[in-house]
Every structure is written in C-alpha cells, then in structure tokens.
A and B are shown apart, each in its own frame.
Chain A
Amino acid sequence: MAPHFLRSNSPFEFQAILKALPFGRWWLIGLWWLIGLLPCLVLGARADELVVVVNPQSGVEQLSKAEVINIFMGRQKKLPSGATALAVDLTGPNAEKKNFYARLIGKDLAEINSYWARLLFSGQGSPPRQAETAEEVLDIVENNKGAIGYLERGQASQRVRIVHALPE
C-alpha cells in the first residue's frame, strides 16, 4: 500500500506521475533507500577510530594486533614489559565493544561470549574486567600499571598511552 499522500486523490497525483515516468515504481523505491541510508552515512562518517590504551608507567610503547588479541582473549596474561596484564572491557552490548571485537578479530559479541563461557567453566580464566563507561575505562587505566583498555580516539586522555589503533 502506498502512503496516503501518494494515493490518487492527492492533489499532486503522484501515482499518475510515477506511472508516467519510465520505471516509475523504482524511482520511489530508490528515494526510500536514499532516505534510509542518509543517517547511516552521517553516523558512519562520525564513527571514531578505536584505540588501545595503557598506563604510561606500563613500559609499553606499542602493541601489535596479535599482542592485543592475545591479551584480550586471555591467552597472554602479561604485557610485553612483564607487568601482569589487567584487560578492561566495556560491558556489552554497545557499539564500541561490538566494533572493537569486529575490527580486532572479526568476531561477533555472541562468539566472544561463547568463547569466554568455554574458558570460564573449564577453570582457564575469566573474561576481562567489565567497565560501565569509557570514563571508567580511563580511570582504571590511569590508576593501574598493567591495565589495558580501548576507547574512541577522542576519549583518550593525556594520562594514558595509545599503543594500538583500530581504524574502521
């Protein structure tokens, strides 16, 4: 059903115009698509780069993607500098967390939860500490030598060190 303003009794006779146009229907569908896509494009352009941050006292200058994966997946329990790693995650589900794991290892949050269920219930380790907000992540990283978290680049403060970037 066409929206009411497109019905034949509308003063603009939309249906008649659409019928007159070649591929009339498809113009309309194309228009809906554009309207639908617009907010996505705007939001997409605004989506920030994610950065992995550590405490400046951690002795870590930079981490490779593999090192970040090993720490966040609980396979490596220390930072390359030797400090015991304290990974800080965001409580899910939210866009930053979803993007972080999607960009880091191409996994969905359900797959991450499934992975941790397997490890947790076979005594192999617990998931990273869960922080409620980006501010809490910052606070923990600023105050713990071995802490490692992730944020949008714009949220990183001067008191943390960026060691890895995850662009879109």
Chain B
Amino acid sequence: MKPHFFVATLLGLCLSRAVLAEPLFASETLSLNGFGTLGGVYNLDGGADFIRDISQPDGARGDGVAWAVDSRLGLQATWRPLEDFESTLQLVSKYRHDGSYHPEITWAFLKYMVTPNVQIRAGRLGTDIYLQADSRDIGYGYLWVRPPVDYFGRLSVSYFDGADFAVTQELGEGILKGKLYAGQARETLPADGGAQYSLDGTSVAGGHIEYQNLNWLFRVSYAAIRLENETPAEPLLNVLQSTGIPQAVALAQEMSLARKRSDFFGAGIAYENGPLQSQLAISYLASDSLMFPDSNSGYWSIGYRIGQWTPYLVYSRIKSDHNQRATGLPNIPPFDAINAGVAQALSGSRADQETFTLGMRYDFARNVDFKLQLDWVDSRVNPSLLWRNPDPDWDGQATIISATLDFVF
C-alpha cells in the first residue's frame, strides 16, 4: 500500500502544479500596448507641401517644422481568453484628411486559430497589399523615418472591414505562408480645393504568397480595388458628357472613378544577416481610370547596424503613365475652360519622381529610438499626386530633413 500512496501523492503534486501553472497564463489574457512617433519635418524648399501619403491634406512646406507629417499615437488592446482565440482593438490618432487628429479604429478583429497553422480573422483589418503595408504607422517597427513615399505614399486603403485567411506550412528550413483577404474600405481622402473623396463602399480583395527562411523573405502579392464613388471632379465629367461630342463623352467615361477597378501587383525581397538588412520591392498598378493612372514603383533599402546605430540608404522611384488626353473640343471659349480643367484634373493624379534617402536610426534606450533622415526628392511633374499645393513654377526638387522619436510600450 505504501508505494501506491507514495506514487499517488507524487502524481497529485505534479497535477496540482500543472493546474497552478495555468492561471499564470490566464492572468495574461488581456494586454494593453501602444506605439507612437513624435516627428518633425523641415522642407528646405518652399515650392510645395511634402506629404507622407495621400491621406494628408497638406504637409511640410519650408515655413517651419511640420509636426503633423510623421507624428502619431496608437493604442492597442488584445484579449486572449483561449489559446486559439484572440480579439484585438487598435486606435490611431494621426493627421488626417480633414486636418484633425481624430482617432480612428484601424484594427478591430476576432482571430480564431483553426490549427496552429491555419487562422481566420474577421472585422477591421489592415490592408496588407505590400510587404509591411499593414504596419506603416509603427515607426519603431522599421528602420526609416517613414515608409518610402514613392512606394507606399499612393496607397489609399490602409484598412478594410472584412476577413482574412492565412495558412502556413514548413518548407525546408523556412515557412511558406499564403493569405487571402476581402472586404470593404471605409476611409476618406482629401481632394483638390478642400474637397473629399470617400472610399465608402470600395471593395478590396487580394492575397499573397510568402516564403521566409533564416536570411531571406520573398513575397508576391496581388490585390484588386474597386472604387465605388465618383471623382470630386464629377461636375467636369458632366460638362464633358453634356457636349455630346463622342470623344469628350468617351473621355468622361475614361476619367470616371465610380465602379472602376485597379489591380495591384507587388513583389518584394528582404534579406537579413546579423546587423545587415536590405529590402527590394517593386509594384505595378493597372487601373481602369485615367484619374488613377497606371504606374510602376519600387524601392531598395539597405541598413547596417553598428552597436546602437544603424545608418541606412534608400532609393525609391515611382512613374505613372502619361494620362493626358484630348477632349476633342476646340480650344476656343467656352470650350478652352473645359480643356484646361481636364488637363489640370489629369495632371494632378500623376506621379513621376525619385528619392534618395540617407538616414540613421539610434536605439538609445529600451523600446525607444531616435532617427534622423535626409531625403532628396526630384519630381518630374508639377502638379503631382504626392505633393500638395505646389507653386506653378516649382521645379520639383526638394530636400527634406526629418527627425523622429519612436516608441512602443
């Protein structure tokens, strides 16, 4: 009897220990985290407003330090009552289309892990069109002051309401991952003359395949965006249509944004080896509307950490297709005003520029970094999709100095 009693006591002790260990994790079911960036941007050239992306109505112009371009604050609550179930809510306050810092819900989803390798999320999700496109607000998460504007600046949909589905599979020494998503966009973008463009009703669908091993990450992605609403230049399109001239009517149709589709194709490679990190990404946008012309863009970034310092270099480039079209209307009053209006509307949606970036990230304390960055931008078009309020005689060149303090908690 005695040995049995001994074994039973031991077993009981082991079991109670296992049970006691459980609440350790249960108490970790709710977590609160945050991230933020305090950043100042100075544009040495006064010809146009430098913006981070097309959600910003104005930016750094050279009349003082612009704090709005990069500064932001985010809060996130994650509730994980079970091992395979999670719920996340994220609020971000940043400078937005209406010139306010009104916080927006950027993430709000339920996640269910069907197996450790298969997960489904539903709710509000970040748009993962390109590598790191869904973490553009988290300055502490990347090397640069901001994601390269030539590549990410044009992305309009940063989140959508819908679902995504991801599967991972071990392959060799790495992990192969596939992801599909679909949903509806909700954001609002600023447009010329204080107008706004609502993405309400815009549908988003896409996916990517990614392979990551010790040093390399490869991703190919595709996304389709179908805009719901008409361009703020709609009155102009109505005038074109009302002329009854076939070429003008056809142009109005080509310029329309409502129910037009854009296809995004992206490919990215990242290489990391100890203190070295490098990324190369390219994308092609094929659009059905002249107001959002086809374009190619890409960037290459390289950084090397020396102690707490990481100097980096970036080259980025975007070039949109020529989108000017003749209206077929004679250039005499009253038609010359229509021709000028069309030319202006189309030229404002182009982008053709390259940027050389030199910067340094300094990780001086736990979960805080300081970055200093210099950008030399050369825009070959004026006006441009990526600049606000340009002077008509601006030569398209600008030198931008930025400093940020990024933190997470």
Contact = CB atoms under 8 A, between A and B. Distances in A.
B294 interface: no
Interface stretch (A4-12, A13-21, A44-52, A72-80): A72-80
B235 interface: no
Nearest to B175: A75
Contacts of B33: 120-121
Contacts of B332: none
B142 A114 contact: yes
A123 interface: yes
B117 interface: yes
Given A75-B212, A126-B31, A129-B25, A121 B17 contact: no
Contact of B21 (A93, A110, A111, A139): A139
Contact of A123 (B74, B126, B366): B126
Interface string B200-242: 0000000000001110000000000000000000000000000
B301 interface: no
B24 A140 contact: yes
Interface stretch (A29-37, A100-108, A150-158): A100-108
B111 interface: yes
A25 interface: no
Nearest to B128: A122
Contacts of A129: 25, 28
A123 B21 contact: no
B323 interface: no
B214 A105 contact: yes
Interface string B73-92: 01010101001000010100
B274 A144 contact: no
B62 to A, nearest CB: 31
Q: For the side of the interface on A, what is the size category?
A: 35 or more
Interface string A136-153: 000110111000000000
A84 interface: yes
Given A64-B173, A78-B116, A140-B21, A114 B214 contact: no
Interface string A33-75: 0000000000000000000000000000000111001100001
Contacts of A110: 308, 363, 366, 369
Nearest to A79: B116
Interface in B113-162: 113, 116-117, 121, 125-126, 128, 132, 134-135, 137-138, 140-142
Nearest to B408: A117
Contacts of A70: 170, 174-175
Contacts of A92: 366
Contact of B74 (A76, A109, A121): A121
B95 interface: no
A107 B310 CA distance: 12
A78 to B, nearest CB: 4
A78 B117 CA distance: 8
B134 A122 contact: yes
A165 interface: no
Interface string B101-121: 000000101010100110001
A77 B363 contact: no
Interface string B299-312: 00000010010000
Interface string B170-213: 10011100000000000000000000000000000000000011
A117 B140 contact: yes
B35 interface: yes
Given A121-B76, A121-B90, A66 B363 contact: no
A60 to B, nearest CB: 14
B1 interface: no
Contacts of A65: 214
B168 interface: yes
A163 interface: no
Contacts of B83: 84
A126 B142 CA distance: 17
Given A66-B214, A121-B90, A93 B366 contact: yes
22 contacts: A76-B168, A77-B117, A78-B116, A109-B366, A110-B308, A110-B363, A114-B142, A115-B141, A117-B140, A118-B132, A121-B90, A121-B135, A121-B137, A121-B408, A122-B134, A123-B88, A123-B90, A123-B121, A126-B31, A126-B78, A142-B17, A143-B18
Interface of A: 64-66, 69-70, 75-78, 84-85, 92-93, 105-111, 113-115, 117-118, 120-123, 126, 129, 139-140, 142-144
